[in-house]
Structure 1
Amino acid sequence: MNDLVIVFPGQGSQFPGMGKNWYDAHESVRDRFRQASDIVGYSVEDLCFTASSGELTRTAHAQVALLVLSHAMYEVLTQDRDRMPPVAAMAGHSLGEITALLAAGALAFEDAVRLVKVRGEAMQACAAEGGTGMIAALGTPAAEVEKCVAEFDAEGRTVQVANYNSARQTVLSGTLDDLKAITAHLEERGCKVARLNVGGAFHSTFMADAVPAYARAVEETAFREPAVPVYSTVTGRAYGSAREIKDALAVQLTGPVLWSSVVARLAERDVALWLEVGPKQVLKKLIGDAVDGADVLSLDADLDQARAALGKLAERRRREPGLAGLCLGAAAATRNRNFDEEQYTEGVVLPYRKLQELAQVDKDRLTDAQKATALDLLGTIMATKRVPEAERRERIASILQRTGDVHLQTSAEVPAG
């Protein structure tokens, strides 16, 4: 369990004065605030530190402020290379997904600020029509909430699931009248309901008018494949290309946030540390409730603990072999049952030499493509040594589990031999 997963919060985590200690302590944070202010045409510093709660909470303002602060905090975090283990994966809740893509190098800071400015303004304009909102259904399984919504909508209403936050926290969007009515419907079934302080029915078809402007901005933004896997809350899977990013973001405003799916997929990696980077600790609580025994910290709320945990994780990773090293060890320890000299040379000796070369690469710099090659080489060696297929698959799965590279499971080839 050596994986570090970084998560970024979305709208709702903002509060007056957020980030003041980071701004005062770090020139890099002040630089990002100044850059963003030049782009959006107002002072992000004033917005965060002196503006009223109402001004900061406005959708157009909150989204820009959260993006800028969260990314600036991440940059401070990664400045200390010795105490910073490599990040295995990233994710973000709604708006936070753009922050994750930015941190993973999928787009430039200036482009991210411009994109979020358009996003927030489009959503705010759409919500300004009024009469819509969101509620959270708490303590009831998502499947039961879905069933209740289906029964309610069968009567001609339009309430939609907006966020699958956890197994027992589901957010609904709709008109204020419909939300009031379904609240009673849910409470009759023993569900606790909380009204959310938001300006509209986000992540539902009520945001349809915001899509054209935002989709154009997404299409005009230069994206590239992330350097670190970023998991999409639209699909629940890691992005594979810049095109996938654009396609998912374009429909993000009207589709539900599959946060619980993302957390479940990431939990398969045997994560050593989940770290929320941004104000408050909303995601820390959601992940803690969803993953038994998870070590989850908030950089904003648990700064000293986070630094200590990162240092320990970095040291532990330095002491353990990486995927290529484990493949090399497995290849050497595998009993040989093939005594054909020519086959042995082709299928064992030559692949083993290539594995040795990969094992010399810094394990934290090994790309997924190189890891897949190492797995293929090990598969070839084991097949040539006539290891049964089931055993080969089991050994490769064990290596992937140990290194946290289970996302490579489907791409790992195990030759039939």
Structure 2
Amino acid sequence: MSPSSTNTAYASRRSTPESDYQEQPASAEYAVSYGRHGRFLKLVVQFTAVLLLAFAIFATANVLTPWSRKVLLAMALPVAWSAISLLRRFAVLRYAFTGIAICLLSLNLYGLTQPLRSEELINYRDLQSHHGPQLDCAALEALSKQQDSLDRREFAINAARIVSRIIVFSLPRNRPELARLHHIVPPEKNYLLWLASWTRPHPFSRMEYFEWRRGAARGVGACSQAAMVLCNYLNSHGFDCDVVGLEGHVVTRLNPETDPAAPLVLDPDQGIAFDRPLESLQRQPELVRRRYFNNAHTNATERHAYWNQHAEQLAEAYSSEGNRVYDDAREYFGYATLVDQSRRLKWIFPLSLLLACGLGRNSSHHNSTAAVDST
């Protein structure tokens, strides 16, 4: 290449306006459209992600720890904003939280395919569960279809007897057996309640269901589980039913004002119905003892001495002071709101994590692109 051609090319480059090498700005119409729609939508999505993540943090801590709700709510928003800011800066955190969210969603989907009833329950035997072959939730559903053909008294008594053959009485002391019989909610059913069984052993290490379908589907629990199943079942079928917490036992009571012909006190754990009001049973412990004793010898097949002692204990429970009446199964359980909240949160938490990670990745990519353009 000759010197003259080099000079010519250099002069040509110098004569070219510098603006020719610059990227032409977008049209005013496009810029206004992006400002009104794109930026607004981005702010809305980011604000929604922060609120969802804040709610997830607040509700998760509320389920797992007994802290004050107001303190948690004050902490949730700044923690959520800080978390999203960290996700924008560190790709490793985004990948880690994305993996956690996918695992939790997969666990939830797997839990939808699993039954509440433990497979170990089929071969489980307990001294206080000899009421005949074990039934399941289908027996109560079949009784519901017969409600129109039965009077209210007969319907309530049959429901108590069916519940006594659905709920296997079990009060294990060690955690492995509690988990084996699904007293502890399996993680695939609700990983938040499973975690809560470690941080709040009472009541989540011996979880009980206040809905009759869930309680009957699991099929195991103490006398309180049977009472809540029966109370919720009868209330859903037009009865006015209460849960009565005795001193060491739990039964169900029907309101005599709304159901004067129905049995007044039902013990779904033993399948017994009393035609006397609760106040009368408290004054007549011998009548209660004899009723439980006869029922034990009728249904149990071994160790009558044990049942004699058990009948004495139940009679003392009726006569003890401090018995309390609860309006329904939800009130007796006491943690119904937390359980309902955890059932929604187990889906919201991983979805909000995925949304936050997606926003963090998008913001990080936008910032890196802007840095490259500026150089």
On whether the aligned pair clears a TM of 0.5, the verdict is no
Question: Higher strand share goes to which structure?
Answer: 1
Higher RCO (C-alpha under 8 Å, 6+ residues apart): 2
The TM-score bracket by the shorter chain reads under 0.3
Question: Higher helix share goes to which structure?
Answer: 2
- TM, length-normalised to structure 1: 0.25
Q: Rg larger in 1 or in 2?
A: 2
- TM, length-normalised to structure 2: 0.27
